[in-house]
Amino acid sequence: MKQTSRSDAPPIRVGLVDDHAMVREALASVIEDDGGIEVVAQGETTHDAVRIIRELEPDVLVLDYNLPGGGALPALEVLPDSATSVRVLVLTVHESIHYAVRVLEAGAQGFMVKSSAVEELLDAIRAVNAGDIYITPAFSRSVIDQLRRPKTDRVGVASLSMREFELLRLLGAGMGLKEVARHLCISVSTASTYRARVMKKLNLASTAELIRFALENDLVR
């Protein structure tokens, strides 16, 4: 049974994109149980996310980080090119500040780990819709400290570009270089260049060391 809306304001229009149907339906059920929030669209791929942003323009797009078609980052890249005011809340299983920093710098307004309580999802949607930046409390201080640090002063994983970080993550997950190139929509030569940059920045001597680094630093699930 839906709760009574807290005001006469129209409900917050939410788009929901997650490639796991059961997870998506569970999230939709939680959201719909709130009288002030309405799910107006659902999807399961990066293409769906881009379509929802461009065509339906929800107030808030709740977006899983890992999606078929390239993931959350390509969807975030269309925001500056679209005449919309869609605000994005990224959900992920990755309990790492590096993911939070990446999505916030890419244009998202919120980052939340899926292990958080369902009540937090509703709070996060309301905060993002109100124009605030939402970060899962357990990571907020570390993420803010990282975002305040000039990029030129960052070292290790924090020094990687968006594409370099994604390449590290995907290689760590077991993808070959050709598969990573297809996933990122770049040439194999470009992917090889990114790999070389990552290895130099992280002081790694081989792809095997790169994969081990990604696993040991909890960048892969």
Which conformational region is residue 57 in: left (phi greater than 0), alpha (psi within -120 to 50 degrees), or beta?
A: left
| Alpha-carbon span 104 to 218, nearest angstrom | 19
Tens digit of each residue's pLDDT (9 = 90 or more) over 110-124: 999 988 877 889 999
Strands of the sheet with 87-92, listed across from one edge: 37-43, 12-17, 60-64, 87-92, 110-113, 134-135
**Please, which pLDDT band fits residue 89 given cuts at 50, 70 and 90?**
very high
Tens digit of each residue's pLDDT (9 = 90 or more) over 36-79: 999 999 999 989 998 998 889 899 999 999 888 878 888 888 77
* 80 compared with 24, residue with greater pLDDT: 24
Tens digit of each residue's pLDDT (9 = 90 or more) over 116-167: 877 889 999 999 999 999 999 888 888 888 888 887 788 888 888 888 998 9
Domains of the chain (ranges; CATH) run 12-148 (3.40.50.2300), 154-216 (1.10.10.10)
Average pLDDT of span 171-180: 92
pLDDT at 180 over 60: yes
pLDDT for res 116: 80
CA 138 to chain centroid: 17
Please state whether the predicted TM-score (pTM) of the whole model is above 0.95: no
pLDDT for res 95: 82
pLDDT for res 82: 62
Alpha carbons within 13 A on the beta-carbon side of 203: 2
pLDDT for res 71: 83
